[in-house]
Amino acid sequence: MRRSRLLPLLVLVTVLAAACGGGVSSDDLQGVALAEPTPKPDFTLTDTDGNPFHFAEATRGKLTLLYFGYTHCPDIYPVHLAQVAETFDQLPQVAESAVMIFVTVDPERDTPEVLRQFLDKFDSRFIGLTGAPEELEAAQMAVGVPVAFKEGEGDDYTVQHAGQVLAWAPDGLLYAQYPFGTRQSTWVNDLRLLSQIPPEEA
């Protein structure tokens, strides 16, 4: 039983190694690489134009970066977003087939207009998503990050949320996470590598 389960895995590894040809392995990634890449989850939220955004379908075959945050927090997200924007500028061919998605965990204050305005400050290609609180919670659970929660009261509440950016390669697998403090050179190195992993059904 054990042995037969191992065999397909071995075949898969071999196929992957062959497919990667160029030598993309998790050892070359500088982000926090997963021991074993995991498949992309699915959830549906609403984009800044008010259209439904089916995550798995809309990002199929693309290098996909995902971050949960909120625009009132000026300390963490701007660094992440500015670094990704800078990487997109440096690697235009990578940017063409990549998506950066920012999901708000503060739908109350982050209206679609607020989200759009703020993402445009970094890169107008960045996608902003929002939804009802229960939809946002479901999305975070599907992705496997701790669900954000509100702290404090009144207008000045803050939100405790996952601090990392998650990266799925074009083959739909999550290879690595990028916590706060990731260097610009790591982004450039990893996004270039991840974008070279061919889509599942080329």
Partner 1 sequence: MRRWLMVAGAVLLAACTSELSATELTIDDPRIGAPAGANAAMYFTVQSSAEDRLTGARTEVASRAELHETVHGDDGTMGMRPVEAFPVGPGQDLVLEPGGAHVMLIDVDELAVGETVAVTLVFEEAGEIEVEATVVDPAETTGDHDHHDH
Residues in contact with partner 1 by CB under 8 A are 71-76, 78-79, 81-83, 85-86, 109, 114, 118-119, 121-122, 145-146, 148, 151-152, 156, 158-164, 179-181, 183-184
State in angstroms the smallest separation of the CB of 146 from partner 1.
Answer: 5
Q: 3-state DSSP call for residue 63? A: strand
Q: Which of residues 57 and 151 has its CB atom nearest to partner 1 in the complex?
A: 151
Q: How far is residue 68's CA from residue 103's CA, in Å, rounded to a whole number?
A: 5
Q: Which of residues 60 and 116 has its CB atom nearest to partner 1 in the complex?
A: 116
Distance of CA 69 to the CA centre of its chain: 12
State in angstroms the smallest separation of the CB of 150 from partner 1.
Answer: 10
Q: Which of residues 40 and 161 has its CB atom nearest to partner 1 in the complex?
A: 161
State in angstroms the smallest separation of the CB of 25 from partner 1.
Answer: 22
Which residue do the tokens 């500088």 mark? 30
State in angstroms the smallest separation of the CB of 178 from partner 1.
Answer: 11
The residues near 194 (Cβ < 8 Å, ≥ 6 apart) are: 24, 29, 63, 167, 169, 170, 175, 176
Cβ burial of 154 (10 Å; 0-12, 13-18, 19+) is exposed
Beta carbons within 10 angstroms of residue 173's beta carbon: 18
State in angstroms the smallest separation of the CB of 34 from partner 1.
Answer: 13
Q: Which of residues 75 and 134 has its CB atom nearest to partner 1 in the complex?
A: 75
Q: How far is residue 123's CA from residue 145's CA, in Å, rounded to a whole number?
A: 25
To the nearest 10°, the Cα dihedral for 182, 118, 39, 95?
-80
Q: Which of residues 128 and 172 has its CB atom nearest to partner 1 in the complex?
A: 128
